[in-house]
Chains A and B, each alone.
Chain A
């Protein structure tokens, strides 16, 4: 199900462009902020997994979910959402795999943004 979700949903990006009057430099600035912060959120998620601390994963997963959705990175947003909810429910089993899936989706997102000229 997750794999059907587009890495970068152009319709979300189109809507974002519309909402800021097609200001490409603003979109690029937003993408730069996103790309600069993403690794920190992933690192925090990894640290939470290593510590076996499900509660600590909620916030970085939530932030990544939310900013990914704003920039159309829907696959990563969905994975981060699953991780956030697992964290809220205190589930630690399978969390390491999910975080590694998130890392893969992050790499795909960065590549797709570069391809789209966003990064």
Chain B
């Protein structure tokens, strides 16, 4: 993950609280390995031609209208169009009909959440070369591990930042590289 963006040693949520500042400084001064990377970049640094260089068939599974619109827009800024699914069952149905390189999967959705959908997808198509990238605002400990255990490959935090999304997509083998 560290090849993209700068590595940072600690994250300090705003508004900054004295205890959090103390903890962050303690982490930095203790000289521990960087645990987070800074994945922010203004849009001007986003590659508008990324989809041409690195074509991908993307399925976006997200039930929240605000976040769906935002994700579609951020993908469009990189030249990508995505098919949409409103929940996990719709995502599975879409995978039944067409091939995708990557599913951007919201973790909590109605009917069938992202974890359950991922388990079903992996069980149904064990040999499918498909990356599943979790999108979640849940900051609970163990969340990332739960995503990986369910069969997801990567993780993007919400609100989605363009550079973080681009980094996750760049790790997906491009459509032309995938043998059918």
A16 cross-chain contacts in B, Cβ below 8 A: 70, 159
| A30 adjacent to chain B (CB < 8 Å) | yes
Which of A15, A33, A65 touches B40 (beta carbons < 8 Å)? A15
- Give bound CA distance, A100 to B15, whole Å: 24
Count B-side interface residues using an 8 Å CB cutoff.
Answer: 23
A59 cross-chain contacts in B, Cβ below 8 A: 108, 110
A37 cross-chain contacts in B, Cβ below 8 A: 65-66
CB-CB contacts of B100-117 with A at 8 A, as 1s and 0s?
A: 000000001010000000
B161 cross-chain contacts in A, Cβ below 8 A: 15, 19
Q: Which residue of B lies closest to A35 (CB)?
A: B66
A55 cross-chain contacts in B, Cβ below 8 A: none
Which residues of B come within 8 Å of A, CB atoms? 14-15, 40, 42-44, 63-67, 69-70, 73-74, 77, 108, 110, 137, 158-159, 161-162
Which residues of A come within 8 Å of B, CB atoms? 4-6, 9, 11-12, 15-16, 18-22, 26, 29-30, 33-34, 37, 59, 62-63, 65-67, 69-71
